[in-house]
C-alpha cells in the first residue's frame, strides 16, 4: 500500500506593499489611495500560479482591498479558493480595544461575504498580533461567527509571537468551538524555529523549507500552514525610502526568488485550503 500523503494548508495574506506593519510609521493611511496599487496584478499572478498547479488555497484578505477591487474577490471564489478575513486595514490587534476589534472584524466579515457570496469563517490577525496578552480576541472572534483563527505564531520574535502556545491546532480555553491554527514551526532543541513562510521563506535556502515540511509531514504526521503576501513576488514594487536597515532588509530580501521557490513548494507537497485541511466542511454560501 502507498504511503498516505498529508495535505498542508497554503494561504495568502492579501495586502499591498504599502500596508505592511513595518511601514506604519513611514506611510500614512491617508496616502494609501494615492499610491500605486499593485495588489490586483500580483494576486492575479498568484491565482494563475495556483491554477497551473491545480491547487486551492485560502486568501486572508483585507476588507480595504475587497472594497476597492471586488472583481478580484470574485475571481478568488470563482476558482474554488477559500476567502477569509485579514481585518479591514491591517491594524494590529495589540493596537485595538476589544470594542474596536469587534467592530473591525464584524465590518470586514460582512464586507467580504457581501462581495463574494461566500461564508467567511476564518481570520488571521495583522502581523500575528494575537498572543498571551490579548487572548480575549479569540473569544470575540467566536462571538462574531468565525470558526477558526490563524493568528498565533508560536515563536519568539521582536514584533510578535507566543512561544508558549501549542505548535499545532488547538481549541483555546476561553472559547467553546473556535479552532486556533498556529503558523508552522520546526522544534529544534526545545526552540520553535519559524518555517511557515513570509520573510523566513525568503531568508532560508529552499532546501531548509523543504526539509522542514518533509519532517513535519513524514515524521510528526502533521499538516503544515504556509503563508506569503502578493508583494513578495514583486521585485519591481516601488521602494520605500528612509526605512530602518532592519525593515528594509526584511521587506526586500530575495523577492526575485520567491516565485520559483513557490513553484518548487507546490510541486514537492500537497496543498489545500485551511477549511478543507482542518475543518473538512464544504464552503457554505450566504443567503442572498
| 44's grid cell | 492575479
Is residue 202 a part of any domain in this protein?
yes
Question: Is residue 16 very low, low, confident or very high in pLDDT (cuts 50, 70, 90)?
Answer: very high
Cα gap 24→243, rounded to integer Å: 11
Whether 1 is covered by a domain: the verdict is no
Q: What is the pLDDT of residues 179-225, one digit of tens each?
A: 999 999 999 988 999 999 999 999 999 999 999 999 999 999 999 99
How far apart are alpha carbons 44 and 279 in whole angstroms?
A: 27
Q: What's the pLDDT score for residue 163? A: 82
**286 located within any domain:** no
Highest mean pLDDT among 38-42, 173-177, 193-197: 38-42
- DSSP lists the bridge partners of residue 272 as 9
Q: What is the dihedral of CA 167, 170, 174, 177, to 10 degrees?
A: 160
Rounded CA gap, 268 and 264, in Å?
6
The pLDDT score that the predictor gives to residue 250 is 87
The lowest-confidence range among 12-26, 46-60, 134-148, 153-167 is 153-167
Lowest mean pLDDT, pick from 69-73, 248-252, 278-282: 278-282
What is the three-state SS of the chain? CCCCCCEEEEEEEECCHHHCHHHCCCCCHHHCCCCCCCHHHHHHHHHHHHHHHCCCCEEEECHHHHHHCHHHHHHHHHCCCEEEECCCCCCCHHHCCHHHHHHHHHHHHHHHHHHHCECCCEECCHHHCCCCCCCHHHHHHHHCCCCEECCCCCCCCCCCCCCCCCCCCECCCCCCCCEECCCCEEEECCEEEECCEHHHHHHCCHHHHHHHHHHHHHCCCCCCEEEECHHHHCCCCCCCCCCCHHHHHHHHCCHHHHHHHHHHHHHHCEEECHHHHHHCCCCCECCC
Average pLDDT over residues 4-25: 93
The pLDDT of residue 1 is above 50: no
**Lowest-pLDDT choice from 5-19, 21-35, 101-115, 130-144:** 21-35
Query: pLDDT at position 253, please?
Result: 94
- Average pLDDT on 154-160 reads 71
- Assigned domain for 139 exists: yes
Q: Give a yes or no: residue 2 inside a domain.
A: no
Instruction: Quick: pLDDT tens for 93-139.
Output: 999 999 999 999 999 999 999 999 999 999 999 999 999 999 999 99
pLDDT at 242: 82
Strand 148-149 with 179-180, pairing: parallel
Q: How far is CA 32 from CA 17, 23, 87, 220, in A?
A: 10, 12, 16, 43
The range of the structural domain enclosing residue 114 comes to 7-279
Is 284 inside any structural domain? no
Please give the pLDDT value at position 124: 98
Is residue 49 one of the residues assigned to a domain? yes
pLDDT at 287: 42
Domain count, the chain: 1
CA pair distance 224, 261, nearest whole angstrom = 17
Share of the chain above pLDDT 90, in %: 84
- Domain CATH for 205: 3.20.20.370
Q: Note the pLDDT tens digit of each residue in 255-274.
A: 999 999 999 999 999 999 99
Contact criterion met (CB below 8 Å) for 111 and 74: no
Identify any residues that bridge with 170 across adjacent strands, giving them in sequence order: 180
Residue 283 predicted with pLDDT over 80: no
Q: Residue 159 — very low, low, confident or very high, per pLDDT cuts 50/70/90? A: low
Would you say residue 102 lies in a domain? yes
Instruction: Look at residue 31 in the predicted model and tell me its pLDDT.
Output: 93
Phi-psi region of 280 (alpha: psi -120 to 50; beta: other; left: phi over 0): left
Amino acid at each position: 500500500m502507498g504511503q498516505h500523503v498529508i495535505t498542508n494548508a497554503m494561504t495568502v495574506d492579501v495586502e499591498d506593499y504599502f500596508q505592511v506593519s513595518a511601514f506604519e510609521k513611514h506611510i500614512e493611511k491617508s496616502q494609501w489611495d494615492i499610491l500605486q496599487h499593485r495588489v490586483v496584478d500580483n494576486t492575479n499572478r498568484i491565482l494563475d500560479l495556483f491554477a497551473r498547479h491545480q491547487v486551492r488555497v485560502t486568501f486572508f484578505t483585507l476588507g480595504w482591498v475587497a472594497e476597492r477591487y471586488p472583481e478580484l474577490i470574485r475571481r478568488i471564489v470563482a476558482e474554488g479558493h477559500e476567502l477569509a478575513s485579514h481585518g479591514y486595514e491591517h491594524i494590529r490587534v495589540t493596537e485595538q480595544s476589544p470594542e474596536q476589534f469587534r467592530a473591525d472584524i464584524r465590518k470586514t466579515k460582512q464586507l467580504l461575504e457581501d462581495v463574494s457570496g461566500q461564508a467567511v469563517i476564518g481570520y488571521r490577525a495583522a502581523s500575528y498580533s494575537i498572543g498571551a496578552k490579548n487572548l480575549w480576541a479569540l473569544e470575540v472572534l467566536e462571538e462574531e461567527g468565525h470558526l477558526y483563527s490563524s493568528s498565533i505564531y508560536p515563536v519568539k520574535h521582536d514584533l510578535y509571537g507566543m512561544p508558549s502556545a501549542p505548535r499545532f491546532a488547538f481549541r483555546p480555553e476561553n472559547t467553546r468551538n473556535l479552532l486556533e491554527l498556529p503558523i508552522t514551526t520546526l522544534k529544534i532543541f526545545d526552540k520553535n524555529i519559524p518555517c511557515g513562510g513570509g520573510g523566513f521563506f525568503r531568508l532560508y535556502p529552499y532546501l531548509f523549507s523543504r526539509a522542514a515540511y518533509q519532517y513535519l509531514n513524514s515524521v510528526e504526521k502533521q499538516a503544515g500552514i504556509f503563508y506569503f503576501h502578493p508583494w513578495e513576488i514583486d521585485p519591481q514594487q516601488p521602494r520605500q525610502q528612509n526605512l530602518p536597515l532592519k525593515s528594509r532588509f526584511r521587506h526586500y530580501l530575495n523577492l526575485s526568488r520567491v516565485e520559483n521557490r513557490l513553484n518548487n513548494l507546490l510541486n514537492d507537497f500537497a496543498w489545500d485550503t485551511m477549511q478543507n485541511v482542518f475543518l473538512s466542511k464544504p464552503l457554505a454560501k450566504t443567503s442572498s
